[in-house]
Structures are given as structure tokens and as C-alpha cells.
């Protein structure tokens, strides 16, 4: 069965600090997708990134970067030069390939990030 672990429950940083959110996953499938979602105080989950299991290339998007390592089953998320607007709960998620991806969508418990001015 699949599982997603986010060991950091809460993180507080001061603005402009870099911060890394950890995500470790378990799956027996060789084909799967990993995601990061952001949930700001408004409540809606906002999609940030999707990565498939065959693509271990790291990705950078502005101040955000993601490090995918199959050898350690990790998909970590780094925010560089954090800003107060980055304060949110961040969820890592896993979806295994199958006849319907929706059947196998699993979320981690989330990490609450507070960026202090």
C-alpha cells in the first residue's frame, strides 16, 4: 500500500531564510506521480508541481525547487528567500498508475510553514 510521510509538522522561519520541506513516500508501483500542494489560509489546495517516477530531474520555478530522489524515496521542496505569503500548509501527495489515477491518490499529513516578517 502507498504512504506519504511528512515528518515536519510545523516549521517557522524568518523572512528571506531558505526552508526545505521533507516528503518521503512508499509505493510498490514502478509508475507513479508525486505532487506538492499549497493550502493558504483561504482553504483551497493549490497545485504546485507534479513529477512522474521516471523523471528524476530536479526542477526550479522561481523561488521554488524540488529534489526527487528515488534511491531514498524522497521528494523534497525548497523555498528560497521565503516570504510572508509563503505561509501555508504544504501537502505532498502520491498517485499510483492504474486504470484510474484517482483511485490511488494519497496525501501526507501536511507541514505548516510560518514565515515571520
Partner 1 sequence: DVKVTQSSRYLVKRTGEKVFLECVQDMDHENMFWYRQDPGLGLRLIYFSYDVKMKEKGDIPEGYSVSREKKERFSLILESASTNQTSMYLCASSLPAVPEAFFGQGTRLTVV
The site for partner 1 (CB under 8 A) is made up of: 4, 6, 9, 33, 35, 37, 42-45, 47, 50, 52, 91, 95, 97, 99-103, 105, 107-110
DSSP H/E element including 46? strand 46-52
The span from the CA of 80 to the CA of 8, in Å, is 18
Beta carbon of residue 54, minimum distance to partner 1 (angstroms, whole number): 13
Of the two residues 18 and 26, which places its CB atom closer to partner 1 in the complex? Answer: 26
Of the two residues 39 and 80, which places its CB atom closer to partner 1 in the complex? Answer: 39
Its sign, for the CA torsion 67, 78, 76, 61, is negative
Amino acid at each position: 500500500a502507498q504512504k506519504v510521510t511528512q515528518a515536519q509538522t510545523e516549521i517557522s522561519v524568518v523572512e528571506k531564510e531558505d526552508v526545505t520541506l521533507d516528503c518521503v513516500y512508499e509505493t510498490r508501483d514502478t509508475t507513479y506521480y508525486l505532487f506538492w500542494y499549497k493550502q493558504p489560509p483561504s482553504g483551497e489546495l493549490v497545485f504546485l508541481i507534479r513529477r512522474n517516477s521516471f523523471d528524476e530531474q530536479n526542477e526550479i520555478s522561481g523561488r521554488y525547487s524540488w529534489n526527487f530522489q528515488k534511491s531514498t524515496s524522497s521528494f523534497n521542496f525548497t523555498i528560497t528567500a521565503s516570504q510572508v505569503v509563503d505561509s501555508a500548509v504544504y501537502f505532498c501527495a502520491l498517485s499510483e498508475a492504474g486504470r484510474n489515477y484517482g483511485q490511488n491518490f494519497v496525501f501526507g499529513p501536511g507541514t505548516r510553514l510560518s514565515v515571520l516578517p
